[in-house]
């Protein structure tokens, strides 16, 4: 498919007329993030959870490199091949960008989009229209200055970094584990973290997983606005939490906005029951 062998989990729903739901993970995650949440969703959804192209089980040496744009097209074709003309979408991290791109390009096919990260433009110099926006822009400026070194090297010199991390399991573990430590709310089990790191190590896929960053840095923003119904779960330790007033400029039909009590960037892994409940309630409100 699109020149690669795409790995995915396809878990049929247990309920009658279960809605197809496409789950997309991000970096440095994998389908390990979804192993606990999928059983919680099966009563309402038939779950399709791909490994992103270039990530772990969707990687082999020499295959084409994909950015957000190509991944979205690939996932749209996957859902077509599985027989799902219309489907629900959920994602965080790169999954939020992929889901937003899908919703922007294929709005007739996307029933609704649920996110636990808002893929809004990151410009700390825009004028603030409220105290909430001002606080967010202050945090954004700090985050861009102090927490985006990984994006710079993965987006400009991905192959150089890949040699080092593919050569050293300790180096790979440190590179990945730092993100799980910094971006989470402390809810990551050691076995899940090791399973995730091991997938990258044994498939040799850490270098190819950098390519969405290279594409993002060298291409225009992958979508302008999203007009399908959107639900958002704001976890308190998420890396960036744009206020609703700014999010609404990108997502023009926000139907549900929930402030969660606990959790961070890896919500499906940290708080699977809370996230599953939000997904179910959002799509139930749409009749899905």
265 noted as active-site residue: yes
Q: Under a CB-based contact definition with an 8 Å cutoff, are residues 13 and 46 in contact?
A: yes
Confidence tier at 287 by pLDDT (50, 70, 90): confident
Predicted local confidence at residue 2, as pLDDT:
84
**Given 55, 106, 136, 213, the catalytic residue:** 213
> Which ranges of 106-168 would DSSP assign to H, the alpha helix?
131-146, 149-156, 158-167
Which H/E stretch holds residue 247? Answer: helix 244-250
Predicted local confidence at residue 187, as pLDDT:
86
Q: Under a CB-based contact definition with an 8 Å cutoff, are residues 103 and 257 in contact?
A: no
Residue 288 has pLDDT above 70, yes or no: no
pLDDT by residue (tens digit) across 104-153? 999 999 999 999 999 999 999 999 999 999 999 999 999 999 999 999 99
Mean pLDDT, residues 190-216 taken together: 97
Report residue 80 CA to chain centroid gap.
21
Predicted local confidence at residue 76, as pLDDT:
98
Distance (Å, rounded) from C-alpha 76 to C-alpha 54? 17
For the chain, give the mean pLDDT: 97
Angle between helices 158-167 and 149-156 (to 10 degrees): 100
pLDDT by residue (tens digit) across 9-30? 999 999 888 999 999 999 999 9
Predicted local confidence at residue 15, as pLDDT:
80
- Structural domains in the chain, CATH included, are 8-285 (3.40.50.1820)
Mean pLDDT, residues 44-59 taken together: 98
Mean pLDDT, residues 91-103 taken together: 98
Mean pLDDT, residues 217-223 taken together: 96
Mean pLDDT, residues 179-207 taken together: 96
* Nearest in space to 88 (alpha carbons), one of 132, 23, 144: 23
185 noted as active-site residue: no
200 noted as active-site residue: no
pLDDT by residue (tens digit) across 231-273? 999 999 999 999 999 999 999 999 999 999 999 999 999 999 9
Tell me what percent of the residues of the chain surpass a pLDDT of 90: 97
**Given 44, 93, 136, 185, the catalytic residue:** 93
């Amino acid at each position: 498919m699109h020149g690669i062998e795409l790995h995915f989990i396809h878990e049929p729903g247990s309920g009658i007329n279960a809605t197809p739901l496409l789950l997309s993970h991000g970096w440095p995650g994998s389908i390990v993030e979804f192993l606990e949440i999928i059983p919680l969703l099966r009563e309402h959804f038939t779950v399709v959870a791909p490994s992103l192209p270039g990530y772990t089980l969707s990687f082999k040496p020499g295959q084409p490199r994909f950015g957000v744009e190509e991944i979205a097209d690939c996932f749209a074709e996957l859902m077509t091949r599985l027989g799902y003309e219309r489907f629900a979408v959920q994602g965080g991290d790169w999954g939020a960008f992929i889901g937003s791109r899908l919703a922007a390009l294929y709005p007739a096919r996307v029933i609704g989009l649920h996110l636990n990260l808002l893929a809004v433009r990151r410009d700390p110099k825009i004028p603030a229209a409220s105290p909430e926006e001002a606080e967010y822009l202050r945090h954004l400026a700090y985050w861009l200055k102090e927490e985006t070194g990984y994006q710079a090297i993965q987006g400009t010199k991905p192959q150089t970094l890949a040699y080092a991390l593919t050569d050293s399991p300790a180096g790979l573990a440190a590179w990945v584990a730092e993100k799980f430590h910094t971006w989470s709310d402390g809810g990551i089990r050691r076995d899940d973290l090791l399973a995730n790191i091991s997938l990258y190590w044994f498939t040799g896929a850490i270098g190819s997983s950098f390519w969405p960053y290279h594409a993002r840095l060298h291409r225009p923003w992958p979508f302008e606005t999203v007009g399908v119904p959107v639900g958002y779960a704001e976890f308190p330790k998420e890396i960036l939490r744009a206020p609703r007033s700014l999010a609404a400029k990108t997502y023009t039909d926000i139907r549900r906005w929930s402030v969660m009590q606990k959790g961070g960037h890896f919500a499906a892994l940290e708080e699977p029951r809370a996230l599953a409940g939000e997904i179910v309630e959002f799509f139930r409100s749409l009749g899905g």
